[in-house]
Amino acid sequence: MDIKDLLKEIITDHTPSGREPEAAFKVKELFGKFFDEVKVDKLGNIIGKKTGKDSKFKVMIAAHMDEIGMMVTKIEEKGFIRFTFVGGIDQRILLGQEVLIHGKEIVPGIIGSKPPHLQEPDEKSKALKKEDLFIDTGLSYEKIKDIVSVGDFITFKRRPVELLNNHFASNALDDKAGIAAILCCIEELKKLIFSADVYGVATVQEEVGLRGAITSTYGIYPDIGIAVDVGHGNIPDLPEEETFKLGKGPVIALGPNIHPKIYERLKNLADEYKIPYQIDPNPSYTGTDAWSIQITRAGVPTGLISIPLRYMHTTVETLNTEDIKLIGRLLALFIASVDTEFVEGLKCY
């Protein structure tokens, strides 16, 4: 499996939080190729099922398919468009970005603001506010109002960039890279014998409140749940203990959000099969789907594996594709190791 090609396919879906059900065509198509059964629940989560040898247990692996984006708030008389954020966007990256407005048809635009030559002296030393920015499509008010409406979604227009040494950059890798890892896991399972039924879930609305993981976990009610998300990659000026190295393997979380026996099994399997890994001691709320999985219904024993990612929530998020392969292998080995003794043991700390 070529991970870069897989990522390019998944990224073609423009899925800001709230728009996933009407836009996740490629993800649903890929799930149909990898899983035995595929369905979409009422909130829009795409759920694939791979049937195990005896279907005694249910293991759920989740990664969110929504991405950060924007939404139209006003169309001004001169045709410029004002907007707000969907999810956590760093407004410092916005000036000069190319965007796509998803109206009655897709309208390309660019984000502009007052040029520095015409700014007041005190403006030059301040970061631009959201209110200072607007989208220029080149159309007049009369033309644009027939195509674009208040509430229409806006996404970034970017092309993936293949960097050296297996590095890959694009928007929306948080967390479409996690979906790629799930598909790698299912591909790896073809080589293994496993007892559990495996549910792969592309969740919705993670960026605005971990919502899809709540409803999908409630419906599946797995014996074990594992979230696959991204963690901050190492860059200059960030403390080493707060970041993870690209190309050095999956990041395995531990802490109150994580069942200790799931953490221990993942770590032991990585040691046994010589899969490089990194440890993420997380003392509280992880801010990922793992949180929703853990506390749904009567509770679900939960794990979290992260992909090291640089420049999170920008249009040039960067990762190493080897980490995705390694996560897929580790997840498959974990699923193959799940038996009655392990599942029963999760009830005893």
Which residues are marked as active site?
Answer: 206
For residues 255 and 245, give the distance between their C-alpha atoms in angstroms, rounded to a whole number.
20
The CA-to-CA distance between both ends of the chain, in Å, stands at 38
Q: Which of 193, 252, 245 is nearest to 50 (CA)?
A: 193
Give the distance, in angstroms, between the CA of residue 147 and the centroid of all CA atoms in the same chain: 30
Q: How far apart are CA 319 and CA 233, in angstroms?
A: 8
> Encoding tokens for residue 254?
């531990």
**What's the Cα-to-Cα distance from 336 to each of 97, 263, 313, 342, 349, rounded to whole Å?**
45, 16, 34, 11, 22
Provide the 10 A C-beta neighbour count for residue 151. 9
Q: Which residues of 24-56 are buried (b: 16+ CB within 10 A; e: fewer)?
A: bebbbebbeebbeebebbebbbbbbbbebeeee
Q: At what angle do helices 173-189 and 3-11 cross, to 10 degrees?
A: 130
How far is the C-alpha of 179 from the C-alpha of 275, rounded, in Å?
Answer: 20
